[in-house]
Amino acid sequence: MKIRSTTVLAVMHNGEVAIGADGQATMGNTVAKSNVKKIRKLANGKIIVGFAGSTADAFTLLERLEDKINAFGQNLKRGAIELAKEWRMDKYLQKLEAMIIAVSKDEMLIIAGSGDVLEPDHNIASIGSGSMYAQSAALALIKHAPHLSAEEIVRESLNIAADICIYTNHNLVIEKIE
């Protein structure tokens, strides 16, 4: 599934975890809103998620993910796998168009409606139209500026993506796992 119209990036680096997203929402080729908050905290702030795709669809999935996480004792991976199974099998959920990045202090997952629950390489996860720009920037920053914090890497990478991707803006929301 190709999700357009946003960029979400998560980075684990030097013992820190940060996730961020731009704030642009589009309807077709028009900017509908410039300051959408696409980052949410779950499990009393122990898990942070970012979404790309339809906002209503993403909220439906985030509620279900939180229910699954709670049902499995705050286990992010187990909750994500159960959500992905349900998402793939349920005729109503199959129509939902969104993707999710979920992070905890120890795990980073990309969850998609195709049934995928991916643990990304290099401790970097990205989704959305500007995801490859942000991911490339994050990889370069980790390699060439390893002293930067995870939050600094996410911020700079999202700004680079916003400079390139017309569906990504500079109104960023970034959260860290404390």
CB-CB contact of 82 with 68 (8 Å): yes
**Residue 146, φ and ψ in degrees, nearest 5:** -65, -15
Distance of CA 46 to the CA centre of its chain: 15
19-56: burial string, b at 16+ Cβ within 10 Å, e else: bbbbbbbbeeeeeeeeebebbbebbeeebbbbbbbbbe
Q: How far apart are CA 22 and CA 11, in angstroms?
A: 15
Task: Please state whether beta strands 30-33 and 25-27 pair in parallel, antiparallel, or not at all (unpaired).
Answer: antiparallel
Could you say which of 6, 30, 55, 168 is catalytic?
Answer: 6
CB-CB contact of 41 with 177 (8 Å): no
Check if 26 is active-site.
no
Catalytic residues: 6
